[in-house]
Amino acid sequence: MFSGDADRGQMEVWCPLIPLDQIQSLLQHKDDLAKINEAYDDWRASMRGKEFVGVKPGVFLDRIRILMIKVGVSCARNRDLAEATQSILSEALRGRALDLLSELPSKPPEKKAVKQTLIAFFTNLKFTRDIYPIEEIQNCLILPASSGVVSGFLSTIRRIFSRQKENRSSVKKKAVETSLLECTNVLKRLYIRLLSPDPW
């Protein structure tokens, strides 16, 4: 319990998992919010000892999904609240991820393509579901505009098509690898924030 800003009045429930601008809509569920807070505290305690250096994006997503499951279990008799809380949390995580992605450079075209790929990935990401990041990123993949462009000086049609195929395959592989690396960086920052006393 603490006093908020003048326009917010006094906070009746302390639940740092839910952003302050969203918690007002849930205050009628004070008892359940207390249980959500306990579940969040338990999750943070269980995650604090786990590594996050060198961890793959799927592991970060699994850890966040565990939090979503704990939220659901904590108010199992109130499915509407569980779904509302999971939705609020997902939107907050998605918004934070997109904020982080906005800081990535948009030049050269390769970096712009990675940025656009990850924006598409995080815009559609379901934090409550078990997913394979590499497959989802491949589905969202946006290749640089210059990929597949081959010099007009090649002497035969066969060489042109062969080179295009090789270039496109190589560019696609590199784009997926770079996107996964940047995705890991974003998820790591989201995860570290969730472990903090006030993530928002």
What's the mean per-residue pLDDT of the chain?
A: 83
pLDDT value of position 198 = 86
Inter-CA distances, 172 with 129, 142, 181, Å: 26, 9, 14
Cis peptide bond N-terminal to 108, omega within 30: yes
Q: Is the pLDDT score of 2 beyond 50? A: no
Of the spans 73-87, 133-147, 161-175, which averages the highest pLDDT? 73-87
**Exposure string over 71-80, b if 16+ CB within 10 A, otherwise e:** bbebbeeeee
Lowest mean pLDDT among 48-52, 54-58, 114-118: 48-52
pLDDT score recorded for residue 134: 92
Chain centre to alpha carbon of residue 28: 29
Supply the pLDDT for residue 11: 52
DSSP annotation of 25 reads G
Residues of the chain above pLDDT 90, percent: 52
Taking the C-alpha atoms of residue 59 and residue 57, their distance in angstroms, rounded to an integer, is 5
d(CA 88, CA 135) in angstroms, rounded, equals 26
What pairs with residue 10 in β-bridges?
3
Digit-coded pLDDT (tens) for 109-138:
888 999 999 999 999 999 999 999 999 999
pLDDT at 173 over 90: no
* Dihedral sign, Cα of residue 131, residue 136, residue 138, residue 139: positive
Residue 31 has pLDDT above 60, yes or no: yes
Average of per-residue pLDDT across 98-118: 92
Q: Is 32 helix (H, G, I), strand (E, B) or coil?
A: helix
pLDDT value of position 6? 39
Tokens of 104: 């990535």
pTM listed for this prediction: 0.81
Task: Give domain limits for the chain.
Answer: 13-195
When mean pLDDT is compared over 17-31, 85-99, 171-185, the highest value belongs to 85-99
